[in-house]
Amino acid sequence: MQYFLSSIEGRAFRIAQIATGNRDDALDIVQDAMIKMVQNYSMHAKDEWKALFYSILQTRILDWHRRQKVRNRFRSWFNWNSAENEDDEEDFIAQQPANQAYAPDVKLQDAQFMDDLNTALSTLPLRQQQVFLMRVWEGLDIAETATVMQCSESSVKTHYARALEKLRGQLAQHHEVN
């Protein structure tokens, strides 16, 4: 289990960070997912761990968005001023990791692509974003993604196609270069 978690923690963190735009919240989500994974599913077969973990992670991300929605409603209820709300929202771009692994001569365009990709992913609707990351990054097939996302396979196909179309549109400049 330790090896599994260490192999997956970086990607899980980035997925949560893209979904929340907040480093600390992303760490909290990864922590919750890991604890639940270890406590409830460590006895399951190892080949089930990946899908189980991502299913937990996606649920935690959905919970986070739901809590944010309710909290925002209560903020307005208590008339907390909007200026403070704006201060709380962290700059998404500033939250993204820098491309420190890249040598200066290794394509400025890749760094720019990374920035634009982060922005484009963060603007996708949550379900599209999650399906896209599960399919492209984690390499889950349609059936596995449907299981993780707890939706139908046709929904996965629809979300994926729409996400891909939007990303192609937003990253068209980079796409045409290559």
Partner 1 sequence: MQTDFENRIKANLDASVNSIDADTRKQLADIRRQSLQANTSSLAPARWLTLSFLHQHWLAVTAMMVVFSLVAFMLLSPSASPTNHQDLALLEALNNAEDLEVMSDPDFYLWADEVLMEETHAL
CB atoms within 10 A of CB 121: 21
How many residues bind partner 1 (CB under 8 A)? The answer is: 52
Binding string, residues 67-86; x marks residues near partner 1 by CB under 8 A: x-xxx-xxx-x--x---x--
Among candidates 95, 38, 39, 31, which has minimal Cα distance to 57?
Answer: 31
Residue from 44, 103, 110, 165 touching partner 1 (CB under 8 A): that is 110
CA distance 15 to 73: 26
Q: CA–CA distance from 73 to each of 30, 88, 110 (Å)?
A: 25, 15, 39
Number of helices and strands (H, E) in the chain? 10, 0
Q: In the complex with partner 1, which residue's Cβ is closer, 5 or 151?
A: 5
Summarize as ranges the residues that interact with partner 1 (CB under 8 A): 1-2, 5-6, 9-11, 13-14, 23, 27, 30-31, 34-35, 37-39, 42, 66-67, 69-71, 73-75, 77, 80, 84, 96-102, 110, 113-114, 117-118, 133, 136-137, 164, 167-168, 171, 174-175, 178
